[in-house]
A = this chain, B = another copy of it.
Amino acid sequence: MASGAGRARITAAEFQELAERGVPYVGQLGCVVERFAPGDVLVRLPYSDLLQRPGGTICGPALMALADITLYGLVMSLLGRVELAVTTSMTVHFLTRPARKDVLAAGRILKLGRRLAVGEVVMRTDGDPRPICQVTGTYALPPEPGPK
């Protein structure tokens, strides 16, 4: 596994700031980083009227944005600040219609290679154990900086 050695460490607060300011379309969701340990990240999407879709539920694109930020955090929790890492693919399964409540997204790593990382995100409505959305995503990692 890639060690992340040679890359700058990142704290939960630094990742929170990236989640808020890095990408405006995602930052406006107001996601809150609730857990940020290496390979174990939990992000909360607060319910707001911006997210709703007809039928009194949360729109798919808001959940996909939540998945994206969670996977990005997952990679950074392991490798540090890898600004050049890019998502190469994402598969999303919408399982159950979410309620008008906060959503919690838990990310875990499936593979951390030198060139690719694969992670999984499972989302639940706050207070309900049933998964509402499951996502797998792949990141292409930039070449690791060598020793100087």
**A92 at interface (Cβ–Cβ under 8 A)?**
yes
CA distance A64 to B71 in the complex (A): 15
Q: Are A61 and B26 in contact (CB under 8 A)?
A: yes
CA distance A68 to B140 in the complex (A): 22
CA distance A111 to B87 in the complex (A): 14
In the bound complex, residues from chain B placing their C-beta under 8 Å from that of A96 are 111
- Copy count, this protein chain: 4
**A51 at interface (Cβ–Cβ under 8 A)?**
yes
**A95 at interface (Cβ–Cβ under 8 A)?**
yes
Given A95-B110, A118-B95, are A138 and B89 neighbors across the interface (CB < 8 Å)?
yes
CA distance A136 to B59 in the complex (A): 18
Given A50-B25, A110-B134, A115-B140, are A87 and B60 neighbors across the interface (CB < 8 Å)?
yes
CA distance A64 to B87 in the complex (A): 12
Contact partner of A51 (CB less than 8 A), chosen from B25, B94, B140, is B25
Q: Are A91 and B22 in contact (CB under 8 A)?
A: no
In the bound complex, residues from chain B placing their C-beta under 8 Å from that of A128 are none
CA distance A85 to B111 in the complex (A): 18
In the bound complex, residues from chain B placing their C-beta under 8 Å from that of A54 are 22-23, 83
**A93 at interface (Cβ–Cβ under 8 A)?**
yes
